[in-house]
Structure 1
Amino acid sequence: MKNQYTRIGTVMSWLLAGLLIFGCNSTQKEAELFRGYDLNKPEKFNLPESLFEVSGITFDKGRNDTIYAIQDEDGKLFRLAWDVPKQLHTKFAKKGDYEDLAIVRDRAYVLKSNGTIFTFPMSEVYYEEPQGISEMKGLLPKGEYEGMYGDETTGELFVICKNCAGDNSKNSVSGYVLKAGPDSVITQTGGFAINVDQIKAITGKVARGFRPSGIAKNPVTREWYIISAVNQMVVVVDQQWNVKDAHHLNGNMFIQPEGVAFDKAGNLYISNEGDDLFSGNVLKFRKSGR
């Protein structure tokens, strides 16, 4: 009887261990999904050399047949088809530090790092030198800006600070709401702030402060996705700008995440500048059906 009980105990131990392993693996598998996106399994588009320093990407009305992009040295707006390493472009300004772009109601908007915004009609993107360009200065307080999102429905532009004089990035990061009106007139209509303590509550210490490099709104959940190359992080906030989630990005995959966008189906795209070993790229993460 003793041997029989010993064998039963051994079998039960094996079964328990197996259940624990299975449970851990299941939990681990679930943890790989960040708000419905498997950030370990992207579709990758290696960009042409002209976009080695890609700094921003967007879509027109959420249509993913064309990726619109800029890089942070040339005043050019690029357009590409997915996984076709041939780009066409229009030159809207001289060399400078251009960080993000948005398309709203058939106009393109390009953000310079000092807060200046260039705008011109989308009908002009097919020409090497577009007409009807407006350069808007003094719309934003002095600072460094890298992230901008355009809302097609409201006609608003949302610009977030990377490093602004009025902020302490270890505590709070400011953003501004601009209204794009007729005749390319842009006015500031409001603002918002990200509470960095709410990020810390999820991820722990944010040693260098939170320094955003891109912002986009998920068309399905209406949540904001804010990425930071400095922090190697993506942060999700709700429509009241409260932090809901945060996730550290794998540095081997996300070389230097500078741009973020969604297509109308809710698929997530993150662009990365290149380095000594890798070209610039765009990573696509399909929205999970679960």
Structure 2
Amino acid sequence: MKQNLIVLSIITGILLFVGLVYFFLKPDNTYTDRLKVKNTWDLPFVLREISGISHIDDLRMACIQDEEGIIFIYDLEKQEITDEIQFGPRGDYESVRIIDSVAYIMESSGKLFKINNFESNHSEIEIYQTGFSRKNDIESFDYHDHSNTFLTIPKNKNLSNFSDDFIIYKINSSTYKIEEQPYSSLKTEDSIFQVNKFFFAEKNIYPSELAIHPETGEIYILDSKIPRLLILNSNGSFKKIYKLNPKDFQQPEGISFDSQGRMYISNEESGFLKQNIQLVEWE
């Protein structure tokens, strides 16, 4: 009888331990059900590390990958790459923005490539050092019409070594240098950023891209480490944050809006999931 009680106690202890481990280690599956994938374009192998997208028009997308200094023009209707535009050597290119006939490409080191008349045989390339460095790891970049500046967020370290805040910096649209006054700053210790992951609470956002909504002026920011979409009001204050289901968004690295304000997100290859561009809508 005593032996049976000992066995029962051991089994109970094991089950309790397993239950506690599951409670703390179970994945946080509170993914948003508001964001639905409406269409998916699987991309060719050369774009397996697609790191940025930007609309040229509603049917053509400028794409970059983080190793080759090439702008790949992808036709959404034809579902194929229709042109390749060389702009630089091998590097670590993370963001592309098309503004009229000018293409801007941001390297992770903060080096900015400006290609005037990028689709022309007579394009001109200008290169600027913004003031960021490789330790900042710049992956986000977009033009902010209201302030006539470009906005960006370091993925790793801010310019101040003593600040862990989530800071959106402004880059002057004439000199392409960092402006002294940032656009906005949020406290990373705020509970709005917290995601429970195993025994730890992950609070940092690691921006892989930002894009400004053409109609509302809201700032959309992707996090590829823990797939999330952070939305800020046009003044840079917090609005909403959504956790994205990794079954649909395995590694979101690019975001762009078409002329109708529809949102497109690109994902790098990850595991068994192929690199793609997705049209997503709110429901």
TM-score (norm 2): 0.77
Which residue does 1:210 correspond to in 2? 205
Cα 1:168–1:43 shift into 2, 3 Å: farther
Which residue does 1:201 correspond to in 2? 192
How far off is 1:133 after superposition?
1.0
- The answer on 1:71 being equivalent to 2:72 is no
**Which amino acid in 1 is paired with 2:209?**
G
Which residue does 1:188 correspond to in 2? 178
Unaligned 5+ residue runs, structure 1? Answer: 1-30, 34-38
8 Å contact from structure 1 (residues 71, 99) kept in 2: yes
8 Å contact from structure 2 (residues 188, 203) kept in 1: no
Which residue does 1:24 correspond to in 2? none
**Which amino acid in 2 is paired with 1:160?**
I
- The answer on 1:246 being equivalent to 2:236 is no
Which residue does 1:14 correspond to in 2? none
Q: Partners of 1:225 and 1:208 in 2: how far apart?
A: 18
Cα 1:124–1:226 shift into 2, 3 Å: closer
Moved more, 268-277 or 141-150: 141-150
Paired-residue identity, %: 24
**Which amino acid in 2 is paired with 1:76?**
I
**Which amino acid in 2 is paired with 1:47?**
L
8 Å contact from structure 1 (residues 169, 210) kept in 2: no
How far off is 1:197 after superposition?
3.6
Q: Structure 1 residue aligned with 2:42, among 39, 46, 52?
A: 46
Please give the per-residue CA displacement for 1:115-166, whole angstroms capped at 9, x wherever unaligned.
1101111x23344xx6421111243365111111124676521111101254
Q: Partners of 1:169 and 1:246 in 2: how far apart?
A: 26
Which residue does 2:20 correspond to in 1? none
How far off is 1:32 after superposition?
2.7
Moved more, 65-74 or 217-226: 217-226
SS in 1 for 2:80: coil
Cα 1:202–1:210 shift into 2, 3 Å: closer
8 Å contact from structure 1 (residues 268, 287) kept in 2: no
**Which amino acid in 1 is paired with 2:85?**
T
Which residue does 1:96 correspond to in 2? 91
Cα 1:287–1:208 shift into 2, 3 Å: closer
- The answer on 1:277 being equivalent to 2:268 is no
8 Å contact from structure 2 (residues 194, 203) kept in 1: no
Q: Structure 2 residue aligned with 1:258, among 233, 236, 253?
A: 253
Cα 1:169–1:150 shift into 2, 3 Å: farther
How far off is 1:263 after superposition?
1.2
Unaligned 5+ residue runs, structure 2? Answer: 1-31
Q: Partners of 1:259 and 1:46 in 2: how far apart?
A: 14
Q: Partners of 1:94 and 1:204 in 2: how far apart?
A: 38
8 Å contact from structure 1 (residues 157, 178) kept in 2: yes
8 Å contact from structure 1 (residues 70, 77) kept in 2: yes
8 Å contact from structure 2 (residues 64, 93) kept in 1: yes
Which residue does 2:225 correspond to in 1? 230
Which residue does 1:124 correspond to in 2? 118
Please give the per-residue CA displacement for 1:147-186, whole angstroms capped at 9, x wherever unaligned.
11124676521111101254689952222212323xxx42
Cα root mean square deviation, aligned:
2.5
Cα 1:212–1:50 shift into 2, 3 Å: same
8 Å contact from structure 1 (residues 170, 210) kept in 2: no
8 Å contact from structure 1 (residues 104, 151) kept in 2: no
8 Å contact from structure 1 (residues 267, 287) kept in 2: no
Q: Partners of 2:65 and 2:125 in 1: how far apart?
A: 18
Which residue does 2:52 correspond to in 1? 56
